Structure 1
Amino acid sequence: MTGAPPLAPWTRGDWLSMLRTISDPVLRHGAAGTLKAAMPVEAPTGGEGRRLFAHLEACSRTLAGIAPWLELGGLEGDEARLQSEARVQAQALVASIADPASPDHLNFGTGMQPLVDTAFLAQAILRAPTILWNDLPGPVRGNILRELAAARTIAPPVNNWLLFAAMIESLFAVIGLDFDRSRIDRAIRQFDAWYVGDGWYADGPLFHFDYYNSFVIHPFLLDILRVFPRDTEWAEFTRKQVVRAQRHAAQIERMIGADGAMPAIGRSLSYRCGNLHLLAQLAVLRLQPRQPEVARVREAMARAISRSLSAPGTFDADGWLTIGCCGHQPGLAEDYISTGSLYLCTLAFLPLGLAPGDAFWAADRVPTTGDTVYGGHDAVPDHAIGE
Structure 2
Amino acid sequence: MTDTRKHWLKLLTQLTEPIIIPLSQDKLKQTMPIEKKPDTKQEDYTHLEAFSRLLVGIAPWLETPAIDEGEKELQTRYLTYIKQALHVGTDPHSHDYFNFSEGLQPIVDSAFLAQALLRAPTSLWEPLPHETKQQIIHCLKQTRTRKPIYSNWLLFSAMIETFLYGVGEEDWDPMRIDFSLKQFNAWYVGDGTYSDGPRYHQDYYNSIVIHPMLVDIVTQTGVLHPDWDILKEPILTRSKRYSTILERMISPTGTFPATGRSLAYRTGIFHNLAHHAWREDLTDLSPGQLRAALDAVIEQTLEKSNTFNEAGYLTIGVSGHQPGLGEVYISTGSLYLASVIFLPLGLKETAPFWQDKAQPWTTKRLFNGEDLKNDYPLDN
TM over 0.5: yes
Residue 101 of structure 2: SS of its match in structure 1?
Answer: coil
**1:269-300 CA-partner distances (Å, limit 9, x unpaired):** 00001011111111222222x21222211110
In structure 2, what residue type is equivalent to 1:215? I
Tell me the equivalent position of 2:83: 91
Residue 202 of structure 2: SS of its match in structure 1?
Answer: coil
In structure 2, what residue type is equivalent to 1:114? P
Residue 196 of structure 1: SS of its match in structure 2?
Answer: strand
Residue 27 of structure 1: SS of its match in structure 2?
Answer: helix
Residue 111 of structure 2: SS of its match in structure 1?
Answer: helix
In structure 2, what residue type is equivalent to 1:84? T
Q: 1:246 to 1:94 in 2, by over 3 A?
A: same
Structure 1 residue 131: Cα displacement? 2.2
Which of 96, 108, 129 matches 1:104?
96
**1:146-195 CA-partner distances (Å, limit 9, x unpaired):** 10111122211110000000000000110111211010010001100100
**1:190-228 CA-partner distances (Å, limit 9, x unpaired):** 100100000110000110001000000000000001112
Residue 189 of structure 2: SS of its match in structure 1?
Answer: strand
Distance across 1 between alignment mates of 2:159 and 2:23: 23
Tell me the equivalent position of 1:118: 110
1:63 aligns with 2:55: yes
1:39-50 aligned within 5 A: 39-45=32-38, 49-50=41-42
Distance across 2 between alignment mates of 1:55 and 1:205: 31
**1:78-105 CA-partner distances (Å, limit 9, x unpaired):** 1111111111111111111001111111
C-alpha root-mean-square deviation of aligned residues, in Å? 1.3
1:164-183 aligned within 5 A: 164-177=156-169, 178-183=171-176
Residue 227 of structure 1: SS of its match in structure 2?
Answer: helix
Distance across 1 between alignment mates of 2:164 and 2:329: 28
Structure 1 residue 21: Cα displacement? 0.6
Distance across 2 between alignment mates of 1:230 and 1:160: 23
1:144 aligns with 2:131: no
Tell me the equivalent position of 1:316: 309
Which of 279, 301, 314 matches 1:285?
279
**1:124-162 CA-partner distances (Å, limit 9, x unpaired):** 100011222110001111111110111122211110000
Tell me the equivalent position of 2:366: 373
Which of 47, 68, 81 matches 2:73?
81
1:163 aligns with 2:151: no
Distance across 2 between alignment mates of 1:222 and 1:386: 19
Tell me the equivalent position of 2:237: 243
| 8 Å contact kept, 2:46–2:331 | yes
Structure 1 residue 64: Cα displacement? 0.6
Structure 1 residue 30: Cα displacement? 1.2
1:123-272 aligned within 5 A: 123-177=115-169, 178-231=171-224, 232-272=226-266
What is the number of residues matched between the two proteins? 377
Structure 1 residue 10: Cα displacement? 6.0
Distance across 1 between alignment mates of 2:268 and 2:181: 23
TM-score (norm 1): 0.95
| 8 Å contact kept, 1:27–1:89 | yes
In structure 1, what residue type is equivalent to 2:241? R
Residue 284 of structure 2: SS of its match in structure 1?
Answer: coil
**1:318-365 CA-partner distances (Å, limit 9, x unpaired):** 100000010000011111100000000001110000000011111111
1:348 aligns with 2:334: no
Distance across 1 between alignment mates of 2:251 and 2:88: 41
Distance across 2 between alignment mates of 1:228 and 1:57: 25
Distance across 2 between alignment mates of 1:349 and 1:306: 13
| 8 Å contact kept, 1:109–1:150 | yes
Distance across 1 between alignment mates of 2:353 and 2:23: 31
Distance across 2 between alignment mates of 1:172 and 1:185: 15
Structure 1 residue 236: Cα displacement? 2.0
Distance across 2 between alignment mates of 1:371 and 1:168: 40
1:18-33 aligned within 5 A: 18-33=11-26
Residue 143 of structure 1: SS of its match in structure 2?
Answer: helix
Identity over aligned pairs, percent: 43
| 8 Å contact kept, 2:107–2:143 | yes
Runs of 4+ in 1 over 2 A off after TM superposition: none
In structure 2, what residue type is equivalent to 1:156? P
TM-score (norm 2): 0.97
Tell me the equivalent position of 1:5: none
| 8 Å contact kept, 1:91–1:131 | no
1:382 aligns with 2:357: no
| 8 Å contact kept, 1:29–1:35 | yes
Tell me the equivalent position of 1:325: 318
